[in-house]
Chains A and B, each alone.
Chain A
């Protein structure tokens, strides 16, 4: 199942996710995984901003910057964002997910 972060803000629903293109774009914008530890104040907002590109391309930077400080549980947020960022690359080597099962019952 695709890794996504979803939330509502000011009556709008937001879905954060990465695909191959947005991973490249985030990297082009200056994001480097290796520098998360040293430059977390620069890198993590870049990652957060990049996560909007897939479903909310063209979203105002000011709005994204307004949302980020309001997001609770930041440590967990950044871990999840990094997992999402890794997903397009992991999809290149992992096996198809057939673990998802839907339970159902018949009424006769």
Chain B
């Protein structure tokens, strides 16, 4: 779009001011396809409230940001998967065994992270209790054997 006017609300370097050599109608015609591309209906563009246009641009920014995050996350999963299978491709490793893929997706929201941390803490706690029970059982058996013997 270099050299052509821009009404995207983002990069203002080549944006037209309302007092440029373009007439109002020309500016509105030039910007029309851009607004269609970000999901504005022709009716909203031509007949809707003027405030709709900045709102559509803002909504588009949010969509672009979300898409960017999605792509980044996708790359992170691919990277994770590659790291996990990398032992298979290491010629100098004796034990060529891939790590299993993630059991569940990354927790994205604070409440998910908290839930996951709590679950992890509970697993550790349960494991410790199970270990203690096992040890107690062994001691009891030893005691029993000593007394019996």
Contacts and interface: CB of A to CB of B under 8 A. Distances in A.
A95 B28 contact: no
24 contacts: A20-B50, A23-B24, A24-B25, A24-B29, A24-B46, A27-B24, A27-B25, A33-B23, A33-B24, A87-B50, A89-B18, A89-B24, A90-B18, A90-B50, A91-B51, A91-B52, A91-B54, A92-B9, A92-B28, A92-B31, A93-B17, A94-B54, A95-B58, A97-B54
Given A93-B7, A93-B12, A94-B54, A86 B18 contact: yes
Contacts of A85: 24
A9 B17 CA distance: 36
A96 interface: yes
Interface in B48-94: 48-55, 57-58
Contacts of A88: 24, 28, 50
B9 A89 contact: no
A27 B51 contact: no
Nearest to A31: B24
A32 B54 CA distance: 26
Nearest to A3: B50
A23 B25 contact: yes
Interface of B: 7, 9, 12, 15-18, 23-25, 27-29, 31, 45-55, 57-58
Interface of A: 1-2, 18-21, 23-24, 27-28, 32-33, 85-97
Given A85-B24, A86-B18, A92-B27, A97 B47 contact: no
A99 B7 CA distance: 22
A87 B55 CA distance: 15
A2 B46 contact: no
B49 A2 contact: yes
B107 to A, nearest CB: 31
